[in-house]
Chains A and B, each alone.
Chain A
Amino acid sequence: MNIKVFVPQDSTALSLGADQIARDISRHIDQHNLNVELIRNGSRGLFWLETMIEVSNSNGRVAYGPVSPEDVPSLLASGLLDASPDHALFLGDPELIPYLKNQQRLTFARAGLADPVDIMAYRNKGGFSGVEKALQLTSQQIVDEVKTSGLRGRGGAAFPTGIKWQTVLDATPIDNSKQKYIICNADEGDSGTFADRLLLESDPFTLIEGMCIAGLATEATKGFIYVRSEYQQAQEKLESAIEIATQHGLLGNNILQSGRHFHLEIRRGAGAYICGEETALIESLEGKRGLVRVKPPLPALEGLFQRPTAVNNVLTLAAIPYILSQGARAYAKFGAGKSQGTQPFQLAGNIKQGGLIELAFGITLKQLIDQYGGGSLSGKAIKVLQVGGPLGTYLASDQWDIPLEYEAMSEQGAVLGHGGIVAFDSEVKMIEQATFGMEFCVQESCGKCTPCRIGSQRGKDLLVDISDSQNVQQNIELLEDLCDTMAVGSLCAMGGMTPNPVLSALKIHQHDSLNQASNTHSENGDF
């Protein structure tokens, strides 16, 4: 068997010098005329180990990481291409690294194994089996299968996917055109999330297959993938994947000789967080400002160009091939309560071992941090976690026993969102985070609803005053009142959920101030 060396080409690895590493290894191979194949794979999502190089030969596959460009000469000298263990960065079999081994990878099973656009590698690892199964079923049978799986929208709203698809399947376009659409929401704007990007860059065929199945299920013959403009690398991978999938009959007219059709187009976002909201995304796709629409009508009935449209997140659609190929019950075996299946959690921020962790719902925040996080990056204690992106709640350590599943989170006034978890160490100034919560809304509000457009600016002003210790009590009351108005008076989650980070951060700040005050008092011997 040939020796293969894998150097990832995903954005994280590239941001840490992977291209330089690949160039240096390639030069070494050429200079010594070695029979070694260099493959640019995706990432396995163990970002704390990037750039993670892997070498495979007849004995198996081993990894090295985190490799910087400066490590390449010593790695080569100590026998990298012979898979030698004689280097400090040697990690052994990557599949045995506990961080990866202990995961339950269904959606991300193939991430990082091969060149992401190598369609034969995809097929060899079980690719296409979902769509092949779907082609033997009626649309209704596919929808029923998805309902049975219990899959809920992974974008954050957690709406049951099967019910959404049923609505689209049953809908008749008002213009009698028969045209329905699938839109994949790849406008992953939440800080602390990178699962969509990882999938697009490391295993794009899974998404394409999932969308194809969604098309078969709802009788939609056209799909759009709306990718945020910041994700350049993801777009490039997706473009070549679509081209290759079309050549291999997975897309286009007459999918796999079935007589069914599905066409797929990529659309780039343009740096507007709000376009992650489904109706704003639809407006944007239509070539308009990304203003949120009033619902009803539901997009499932009157969506893109007023036609029935299923808008699903990348992770929702990417879960579909597994559900079809292994069966809904196999998928529903994972999970807890009404949150069935797996969730790709993303550990980020001030954390030593950040990366993607796909696990069944139900693990607690504390378990996730303890078993995978490895402590903070700075070495100081982790003080708070923000879960669910910029509209998610800040949770102090006494709240980390919550199981990570939709209902348990919402009982605690928190959201799971897209599964992103950002860690902050003890240096964090919570009043700054509260202020940023409003600032972000100022920047990203679409402007349609007054409480969100104006309220966020006023909220920011109030928080600046609070941090300057001006009329603190009175301003906090005003702020709470304002947050109420934003929560009930905004059409979408932007204004509606901005109070989550703001009020939770403020609460932790107030708690800290009280503690600090009592400490100062006791130090001064006031008690």
Chain B
Amino acid sequence: MNDADKIKQLISDCIESTSQLDGPLLPTLHKIQDNLGYIPKESIPIIASAQKRSKAEIKGVISFYHHFKTTAPARVEITICRAEACQSVGSRQLEQQISQDIEQSQLQGKYVDTNISPVFCLGNCACGPNIVVNGQMHGKVSAEKFRTIYQNEIASLVENSK
């Protein structure tokens, strides 16, 4: 089986495993994204025909929710909380510093494909500023602490790819 077929097979499996649920679309989309890191556009017609909805409806649902991605994730995915509790402890400045740091490491040739996106509240509002790096939440993040977290993440990616 080539890669495209494998992906199609996986999409079908995700649809199949959620087919017994009432209102299965969100669980199906979650399952696909959990497995692939995003929802490839090939999945839209397959879901539409299996769940008897129009392709436009499926696309409309995917685009409505911030959580669903339609492109493959970066190797380091960083989400930074932009909500009020984190603002009150300097998340605006932290976000700027993080962006600068990543730009700089890019200039220095130490760049690892990194994406920053905002999130509104992670529910850790007594210990902000909060960020999530590849699924792991970190609280009380300073610019300095971020550098350590980022370097460790890159080091562990390098380690795992060996």
Contact = CB atoms under 8 A, between A and B. Distances in A.
A268 B120 contact: no
B73 interface: no
Nearest to B92: A432
B64 A230 contact: no
Interface residues of B, number: 43
A145 interface: no
B125 A272 contact: no
Nearest to A437: B84
B75 interface: no
B121 A190 contact: yes
Interface in A189-224: 189-194, 196-197
Contacts, number: 148
B24 A355 contact: no
B23 A287 contact: yes
Contact of B137 (A15, A284, A423): A15
A444 interface: yes
Contacts of B140: 15-16
Contacts of B68: 270-271
Interface string B80-121: 000111111100100000000000000000000000000111
Contacts of A232: 135
Contacts of A428: 88
Interface string A431-463: 011001000100110100000000000000000
Nearest to A275: B65
A314 to B, nearest CB: 12
B123 A194 contact: yes
A436 B87 contact: yes
Please report whether the interface of chain B is mostly helix, strand, loop or mixed according to DSSP: loop
Interface residues on A, range: 35 or more
B65 A270 contact: yes
A354 B26 contact: no
B27 interface: yes
A230 B61 contact: no
Given A12-B139, A287-B24, A443 B126 contact: no
B124 interface: yes
A286 B24 CA distance: 8
B117 to A, nearest CB: 10
Contacts of B135: 232
A459 to B, nearest CB: 17
A349 B128 contact: yes
A15 B26 contact: no
Given A191-B121, A230-B123, A289 B61 contact: yes
Contact of B89 (A347, A349, A390, A446): A349
Contacts of B125: 191-194, 346, 348-349, 354, 420, 422
Q: B22, B51, B86 — which one has the most chain A CB atoms within 10 A of its CB?
A: B22
Nearest to A230: B122
Q: B92, B124, B126, B127 — which one has the most chain A CB atoms within 10 A of its CB?
A: B126
B6 interface: no
A509 to B, nearest CB: 15
A232 B137 CA distance: 10
Contacts of B21: 265
Interface string B124-161: 11111010000101111000000000000000000000
B37 to A, nearest CB: 14
A193 B121 CA distance: 9
B32 interface: no
Contacts of B122: 11, 230
A11 B64 contact: no
Interface in B40-95: 51, 53, 57, 60-61, 64-68, 83-89, 92
A267 B26 CA distance: 8
B120 A349 contact: no
Nearest to B68: A270
A295 interface: no
A386 B84 contact: yes
Contacts of B15: none
Given A190-B121, A349-B88, A433-B84, A268 B126 contact: no
Contact of B88 (A194, A197, A268, A422): A422
A156 to B, nearest CB: 15
A271 B65 contact: yes
A424 B53 CA distance: 47
A344 interface: no
Contact of B27 (A196, A267, A436): A267
B25 interface: yes
Contacts of B30: 229, 268, 270
A232 B67 CA distance: 13
Contact of A14 (B88, B89, B137): B137
Given A191-B83, A346-B125, A423-B88, A272 B137 contact: no
B66 A12 contact: no
Contacts of A423: 88
B137 A270 contact: no
B14 interface: no
Nearest to A394: B84
A289 B88 CA distance: 32
A349 B85 contact: yes
A188 interface: yes
Contacts of B53: 287
A270 B84 contact: no
B11 interface: no
A302 interface: no
B23 to A, nearest CB: 4
A287 B85 contact: no
A48 interface: yes
A400 interface: no
Given A229-B67, A349-B128, A270 B26 contact: yes
Interface string A234-255: 0000000000000000000000
List the 4 closest pairs (A to B, CB-CB), nearest first. Answer: A354-B126, A287-B25, A191-B83, A270-B65
13 contacts: A48-B126, A192-B125, A193-B123, A194-B125, A265-B21, A269-B65, A271-B119, A285-B26, A287-B53, A290-B64, A346-B126, A348-B85, A440-B120
Given A194-B126, A270-B26, A350-B89, 6 more contacts: A232-B135, A270-B29, A270-B30, A287-B26, A390-B84, A443-B120
